[in-house]
Amino acid sequence: MRANPSDMRVERRPKLFENVAQQLRAKILAGDFTVGERLPTETRMTEIFGVSRTVVREAVAALAADSMVEVRHGAGVFVIDSPTLKISAITADMGNRISRAVNVLEVRMGIEIESAGLAAQRRSPSQEARIQEAFFAFEALLKQGEPTGRADFEFHREVAAATNNEFYVEILDALGDRTIPCDRSSPWYSIEVLSADYLNGLQREHLRILQAISAGDADAARDAMRAHLVAARDRYHQRLSGQQADYFQSRTEQDDVSGDV
C-alpha cells in the first residue's frame, strides 16, 4: 500500500530567529510596542530571549523585511507604521456597534474560508494535531463553564497556521481575539453568546471544519468555514432585528399609555 504523500511530510522546525521574530511581532501587534517606540537594545533582547546577538539581528532583519520595524544606526530599532498595525489599531477601538462586527466578519470570510481550504491541502500531522488540540481546549472550557473566547480564537489561528502561509496568521493576529464574540473582551460580547446552546452550536461548526481538514477535503473545509462565519453574521443580524422589535414594542407601549391619559 502506497503511503499518502501528506502523511510523509516532515515539518521543518522553526529556526531560533523565527521564534524570536514571532514573539516580537506578537508584542508589536498587541500594542506592547507602539509606532515610533524603540525596541529593547540588542543586549537586552539576548537576555530576554536567551539567544545570541546573531539570532536577535536575524529576527530584527525579518521584522524589517516585513516593514514592521526600522533600524536606525546608532539610535536603535523602532516600530514603524504598517498595514497590519493599522488593522490592529482599528480593532483596538471598534466600539460595540454591530455594524462593525458584520464588517469584521466579512473580512474574516475573505481570509478564513480560503485558509481552511489551504489547511486541508497543506497541513502537516503536527499542525492537524494542534487544530484538534485547540478544538478540545474549547470543549474542556465549555464543560467547565469557563470563557471560551481565547480557545475559539486559537482554533481559527491554528487553521490559519496550517496554510503554511504566515500572512494568514499575521492578518488574523492583527484582527485579534477581540473579534471573537464569545470572548468577554469582545466589544460585541453579550449574555446570549455565553448560553450553552450558542456555544455548543459553535463547537458543532468547529467540528465540521476539523473533520474536513483532517479528511484533506479542501472544498468541504471551505464550505464548513463559510457556514460557520455566515451563521455568525446571521446571529448579528438577528440581534439587530431584536433591537428593532424591542424599540417598536417600547414605542407602542408608550403610545398606548399616552392614549390612556
CA atoms of 208 and 164, how far apart (whole Å): 21
CA atoms of 125 and 243, how far apart (whole Å): 46
Q: Say which residue, 33 or 117, is predicted with more confidence.
A: 117
CA atoms of 126 and 187, how far apart (whole Å): 33
The pLDDT value recorded for residue 187 is: 44
- Looking at the chain, how many residues does it have? 261
Instruction: Please give the average per-residue pLDDT across 1-25, as a whole number.
Output: 64
CA atoms of 186 and 101, how far apart (whole Å): 10
The pLDDT value recorded for residue 249 is: 60
Q: Confidence class of residue 90 from pLDDT cuts 50, 70 and 90?
A: low
Cite the DSSP H helix spans in 123-195.
125-144, 149-161, 166-175
The pLDDT value recorded for residue 1 is: 42
Residues 6+ apart with CB under 8 A from 180: 149, 150, 152, 153, 156, 186
Q: Say which residue, 30 or 142, is predicted with more confidence.
A: 142
Please choose, from the candidates 21, 217, 255, the residue with its C-alpha nearest in 3D space to the C-alpha of residue 209.
217
Q: What does the pLDDT look like over 155-184, one tens digit per residue? A: 999 999 999 998 898 888 877 765 665 554
Answer whether 0.85 is exceeded by the pTM: no
The pLDDT value recorded for residue 146 is: 85
Q: Say which residue, 33 or 215, is predicted with more confidence.
A: 215
Q: Which of 7-16, 30-39, 100-109 has the lowest mean pLDDT?
A: 7-16
Please choose, from the candidates 117, 73, 100, the residue with its C-alpha nearest in 3D space to the C-alpha of residue 226.
117
Only one residue has cell 470572548, namely 183
Residues 6+ apart with CB under 8 A from 143: none
Residues 6+ apart with CB under 8 A from 195: none
The pLDDT value recorded for residue 160 is: 96
Q: Check if the beta carbon of residue 211 is closer than 8 Å to that of residue 163.
A: no
pLDDT, mean over the chain? 79
The pLDDT value recorded for residue 145 is: 85
Q: Which of 11-15, 121-125, 225-229, 236-240 has the lowest mean pLDDT?
A: 11-15
* Residue 207 predicted with pLDDT over 80: yes
DSSP code of residue 32: S
Please choose, from the candidates 4, 22, 18, 15, the residue with its C-alpha nearest in 3D space to the C-alpha of residue 170.
22
